Amino acid sequence: MTSFPTSYSRAPSLIFSQGSLNALGRTSYSLARLNEQLATGLSILRPSDDPIRSATVSILDSRLENRDQILKNLEFAGNSLGVIDNALGEAKSLIDEALSIASEQLSSPSDADSRSGQATIIDSLVSSLFNISNTESLVGYIFGGTNPTRPPVSQFGGGYRFTGERGGLTAALGAISDVPITLGADNAIGALSNRIKGTVDLDPDLTLNTRLSNLNGARDLGVSLGVIEFSYGGGPTAQLDLSGADTIGDVADSIEAALLQYETDNSVSILGPGGVSISGGSLSFDIAGGSNLEFFDQQGSYIGADLGLVQDPATPFTTGSNLGLDLDAKLSWTTPITALQGLGGAGLDQIAVTNNGQTINVDLSGATTLGEIRSAIEAASDGLRVKISEDGTSINVFTETAGTRELALSIGEVAGGNDTATLLGIRSYALDTPLSVFNDGRGIDIAEGNAVATENEDFKIVLGDGFEITIDLTSSDIDTVGTLITAINTQADAQLTAAGRPTTDFSVALSSTTNGLEFTQDAAIGASGPIAISPQRSAAAEQLGLLDGDLAPGGNTLTSSDRASVRVNNLFTHLLDLSKALREDDTLGIQIASENLKASLEDLIQSEALVGGYARRVDEEVLRQEDKSVLDLAMRSQLRDLDYAQASSRFAQLQLQMQATMSVIAQTQSRSLLDFLG
């Protein structure tokens, strides 16, 4: 029964019991929670305990987790850069040894047997360099560039070919994420590709499929998209949104649709049956009416100007003036051969590609697009790559194989091949070829500026009957193959005329097929002896390939060797050249290889310094990230971790509170006389 304990208040004992039990439950819950906090060491056991602090702790947890990953990445980066530094140091020691051998052989009397023995040592250094090039670290092949999963350098046909990626692999490294943790092999061991640079602007016409991104635009600033305005015959102005266009065909279709709608809305006739199309490199309008069609750019916009529709001064489209400005399309692999105005309408035929010691005639007559030209050339020889030039006007042909001169890349003409290599601008030995690219970029040295005229003579051309033609070249004469030919013919004609001889006794010209200069004497003179070249005060004759040229049967024509062939300029090439020169007892070749090795050594030292800078930045970033982690850990501890002293005091307080509650409950539940009165 319910009683009213007189010792407390006039309230039923049931209410006191329920209140006491509730208090006991709350205390028990607090003790249980505090016991869990003491066991885990955390003051926040679940997000609902304190949403604000929990959210902050969650952010700190995420930051710490991300920073832990960054520190792991930095550890891998430090390992990779350390391996790179060691590899570069080994490569430097290797070059030093090769230079020491070259210096010793140049300073001592020529000994073919000794040099042949030293060539074997150089061959072993090449093998060591190959192993260094394929060194691995924790992240993969250190010279593999952006793809360190496969060996970057492979042996190929007596040479060494780079098959890795350019640039360097980057990772999440905090504030130094721009630091590469691998290097492209061309950044350290030397360039591992070289190219024949296209010299002809192929000048492609527009096609309906030409993408707007492949246009330089009428202002040579690309093509922007958006809204342009137009009117016809001074009528109302209408707007046209071109923002969705992707190709020049899309632009032509959108403009034509807008003009047809304008005709309907304003009851005028603008377009003839030709509509809006393309002609050459421009948009074309078939204006049927007798009025002017004008386009306008909105203020601050140059969309119409980029598309060649808006000119300065303003020039409307009329029946007699229906072409916009040239949009200067760039080459793409889908560009049709028929659209290449740079070919002048000539058809393509065969070219001769020499690479890796083999010459292959490549038939391009069936190619319909630029991409098919690329496929045909790349299929001719392993290690060849065809790329569009950065300005989108020409094509370049790359070789990836480093080796001796016999493996060099050259592109020439084929007899009856319609001068296809010249048309495409990829003949490696042409009239416009700079002489500065001869001899692996060393160019041609001439004697010039001496007070005594005879000391400026570079070489003599000796005809079969003993007549000598002295050639004295100047700097302007050795600009291109064409200027050289002109200078030699001019000087030869003057000396022949002065001697009362016909100028037909001698001439020099670019060989129509062989990559070289053809020195030709009159056939009648050949009966007395062959034509010959005599070097004088400079090395020009040797550097032009005149001393090791081919003398045709009968001795009337001497064709120079090809000194414009393209080779990869790197350590492999220079070491192979040094080995060959030693084996052939070629003192000049040893000297040239030694000079090239010294130049590569400077590049290697710069790479070492660069990698050292990267490693220092990694070390500094490790300290920075660790400091940040310490701060975040301290903040998270303040927000999340339990204060044991405070928790212990609270635990004792709750125990005392529970004892008091139980004591009160015991008193309220005690029996009295009233319990038996009813």
pLDDT in tens, 106-128: 998 888 999 999 999 999 999 99
Whole-angstrom distance, CA of residue 562 vs CA of residue 298: 58
pLDDT for 77: 92
Binned at pLDDT 50, 70 and 90, residue 1 comes out as very low
The β-bridge partners of 397 are 196, 386
Give the H or E element holding residue 37: helix 13-40
Residue 23: half-sphere exposure toward Cβ, Cα within 13 Å: 18
Domains of the chain: 61-192+571-626 (1.20.1330.10), 212-306 (no CATH), 337-428 (no CATH), 457-559 (no CATH)
Any idea which residue has 């570069």 for tokens? 88
Closest to 542 (Cα-Cα) out of 472, 613, 459: 459
pLDDT for 541: 96
Quick one: CA dihedral 489, 491, 495, 498, positive or negative?
Answer: positive
Q: Is the N-terminal amide bond of 313 cis, ω within 30° of 0?
A: yes
Task: Report the pLDDT averaged over residues 550-561.
Answer: 95
Among the residue ranges 11-20, 146-155, 356-365, 419-428, the one predicted with the least confidence is 11-20
Closest to 428 (Cα-Cα) out of 514, 306, 308: 514
Task: Report the pLDDT averaged over residues 206-216.
Answer: 94
Look at residue 187 and tell me whether its pLDDT is greater than 90: no
Q: Is 282 within 8 Å of 323 (Cβ atoms)?
A: yes
Higher pLDDT, residue 42 or 264:
264
Q: CA torsion, points 645, 650, 655, 656, in degrees to nearest 10?
A: 110
Quick one: CA dihedral 471, 474, 475, 481, positive or negative?
Answer: negative
pLDDT for 592: 92
Whole-angstrom distance, CA of residue 340 vs CA of residue 204: 4
Q: Give the chain's mean pLDDT.
A: 90
Binned at pLDDT 50, 70 and 90, residue 675 comes out as low
Whole-angstrom distance, CA of residue 356 vs CA of residue 263: 64
Any idea which residue has 């407390």 for tokens? 8
Closest to 574 (Cα-Cα) out of 160, 267, 55: 160
User: Hey, which bits of 547-659 come out as E strands?
Assistant: 550-551, 557-559
Determine how many CB atoms are found less than 10 A away from the CB of residue 677.
8
Q: Is 675 within 8 Å of 1 (Cβ atoms)?
A: yes
pLDDT for 192: 77
The tens digit of pLDDT for each residue in 137-150 reads: 988 999 988 889 98
The tens digit of pLDDT for each residue in 302-339 reads: 999 999 999 989 899 999 899 999 999 999 999 999 99
Determine how many CB atoms are found less than 10 A away from the CB of residue 17.
13
pLDDT for 676: 55
Q: Which residues contact 629 (CB under 8 A, 6 or more apart)?
A: 64, 67, 68, 71
The tens digit of pLDDT for each residue in 242-258 reads: 999 999 999 999 999 99
Binned at pLDDT 50, 70 and 90, residue 667 comes out as low
pLDDT for 579: 95
10 Å CB burial of residue 534 (0-12, 13-18, 19+) is middle
Helices then strands (H, E): number in the chain?
14, 23
Look at residue 678 and tell me whether its pLDDT is greater than 60: no
pLDDT for 35: 74
The tens digit of pLDDT for each residue in 450-503 reads: 999 999 999 999 999 999 999 999 999 999 999 999 999 999 999 999 999 999
Whole-angstrom distance, CA of residue 59 vs CA of residue 441: 58
DSSP letter at 221 equals S
pLDDT for 73: 92
Q: Whole-prediction pTM value?
A: 0.80
